A and B are shown apart, each in its own frame.
Chain A
């Protein structure tokens, strides 16, 4: 057992933190998120140059062959400065699905393009009327000669308007959920993009018999389990993004208490406030432990879906606690768009709702408590083999 980064991992962290830390100082994030596409294409290209956008993909597919720990490192650094680059969405979620389901040719093409920074791929899975489900509901796939056509509405699709490639889930003719690649062009699909509260972008995507390419080569295969797994891996990565954001929110709050004076003394003189930052620290460290553990479960080949739910529950609760307190302890300044802290709370709220919130995870965990006696973090089902 080892919870420390090795030298290479530490170097990766240094490099990513250096790049993002330099990119997102001061007002720069607000400038970037105010303009389309809501992130900085130059920073995206630098991440690609550093190999970050291909980290988890196999070397044969044009990736770096790194594992979940490396992904976690990047996600945490993203969260630390609220970098708006869609790393988790593009690399972990979209890339993860292509890696899991795609044919060798599709993997070679798509994953290499993502890794090189030339392809922002977005997963179009959520539908109005579904709630973090791993299956498609109303978007349908039909055969058209050798190819496929898709019809229905996907929303909200994170970065759906900017995306160069969409990975779309749809109900197969024989039932079950299939996955498809859709290359947006003049023929469609119709994409309506908009801002999200955290400074990001999402879109409504209307497919109207839009041509699509089957992902993978088994037209009858139900990909629900693959979606579930990719969602779980993305939940874990989001957990680390949240940990990075919470860490900064806590540090910023502690620093504010040291400098803000009322009643002639720094706020840090009021124990009622410093105790609350101590509680924030407790929440943060428990969330960090659980997120790290879930990453190691993934690495060890354990039950990543179950581990992701546990991490989700912990980071969701911690994110709310820390997000609320960070604003409250700042007072009025915490409510402003000009100051950073409220954006941390906003992003934590978005992360929480993108792939299932704490209660969603709790309900799934509550349904299985009868199936084991105690939770053993180092035993079944969390360690593989």
Chain B
């Protein structure tokens, strides 16, 4: 046991920090710091900068751009990126469809898709959830029926994040409705968003933003070669996709940065001529959150430092659960620091209300999503109770 990073790892961290703070356009980092929405072009530009430096897909197999890093290096890469306000490479590309194609795709699929996926020349979106298949994903009904050399897709996906920017969607589709176990009749299919019969309808969220969509498929034909891996094995690939990610599950860097910002704002806001930061209740709340976050970060470090046999460390299951809770608590803290200004979300230029206070409440409301998507916190508790505690 030892607390210090090895000299090599410390140097690695310095290298990452320098890169992220000097090579990614300042305007993009400022946009992230101000918690404004990024444009499609800003995501693409960032990912291309990262990819050119070999920093977009370090966890992929080496022949497709991977770096063979240790989990600890990947953790540092991810944390430094968040601390530097660099938008991480698009998760749908680099953490989801990319690794699945790399692990289970054909050689042609790898050659066709992996390089543009790493470079965000193709923007992917995730077509898993359906109106009646949320937590119970395996009950999905969107069907793909074989017709000659094509699959014909019918059905509906929903909650499709940033589908409005996407070139392609990777879907779970039912290819064997007669399978005895519903998990067994599902395949992993790649569909171009501009295929005839694909339509997208925006969903407005409670913060007024548009980041998710419904996607409808009406007799959409895609060639048979767009099916990844084996027919009816899609559930295994989805489990691989959702389960293999141990790094970056807990948004520690993001929350750390938000807490740092919160402290700055609290120092600026005055109550009866005193900075709000001196209010003992607020100070105690911040200290408690920082300590919770410390405990989480240390747990994340224990998980990544423990790389022995490739099996996930059981404690990794607390990362998403606690990580999203703390992220939500930090967004709530910022609203409370904004206080009476927190209602002025729609104020425009010329308002006395600073930008951070205007975005505070919409952002707080928006981050209620974090405990719902990517395996809700109830699903996380089910995993802890079931797989770890044997209950």
Contact = CB atoms under 8 A, between A and B. Distances in A.
B134 A197 contact: no
A324 B364 CA distance: 11
Contact of B343 (A197, A264, A336): A197
Interface in B200-221: 203-208, 212
Interface string B350-363: 11110000000110
A335 B343 contact: no
A273 to B, nearest CB: 7
Contacts of A320: 332
A272 B343 CA distance: 33
Interface string A265-294: 000001011000000000000000000000
A346 interface: yes
Contacts of A133: 271-272
Given A192-B351, A357-B336, A197 B271 contact: no
A158 B341 CA distance: 11
B288 interface: no
B365 to A, nearest CB: 6
Interface residues of A, number: 52
B351 A155 contact: yes
Interface in B326-373: 328, 332, 335-336, 338-348, 350-353, 361-362, 364-365, 368-369, 371-373
A153 B352 contact: yes
A138 to B, nearest CB: 10
A156 B378 contact: no
Contacts of B368: 324, 327-328, 334-335, 342, 345
Q: Which 3 A-B pairs have the closest CB atoms?
A: A342-B206, A195-B346, A128-B352
B20 interface: no
Interface stretch (B11-19, B97-105, B256-264, B276-284): B276-284
A371 interface: no
Given A194-B346, A194-B348, A363 B339 contact: no
Interface stretch (A52-60, A171-179, A214-222, A348-356): A348-356
A196 B343 contact: yes
A261 B132 contact: yes
A310 interface: no
A359 B284 CA distance: 12
A155 B352 contact: yes
B381 interface: yes
Contacts of B361: 197, 346, 349-350, 353
A311 interface: no
Interface in A115-151: 126, 128-133
B135 A197 contact: no
Interface of A: 126, 128-133, 153, 155-156, 158, 192, 194-198, 200, 202, 204, 261-264, 270, 272-273, 320, 324, 327-328, 331-332, 334-338, 342-343, 345-346, 349-350, 353-354, 357, 359-360, 362-363, 366
A261 B132 CA distance: 8
Nearest to B285: A359
A336 B203 contact: yes
Contacts of B136: 262-264
B208 A337 contact: yes
Interface string B179-200: 0000000000000000000000
B206 A363 contact: no
B347 A156 contact: yes
Contacts of B347: 155-156, 194, 202, 204
A261 B269 CA distance: 47
A331 B371 CA distance: 9
Contacts of A263: 135-136, 139
Contact of A204 (B206, B328, B352): B352
A98 to B, nearest CB: 22
Interface in B281-299: 281-282, 285
15 contacts: A131-B271, A155-B347, A194-B344, A194-B346, A202-B344, A202-B346, A204-B347, A328-B368, A331-B135, A332-B212, A345-B365, A350-B361, A357-B339, A360-B339, A362-B281
Contact of B159 (A270, A332, A342, A349): A332
B236 interface: no
B346 A335 contact: no
B203 A128 contact: no
A346 B206 contact: yes
Contacts of A200: 343
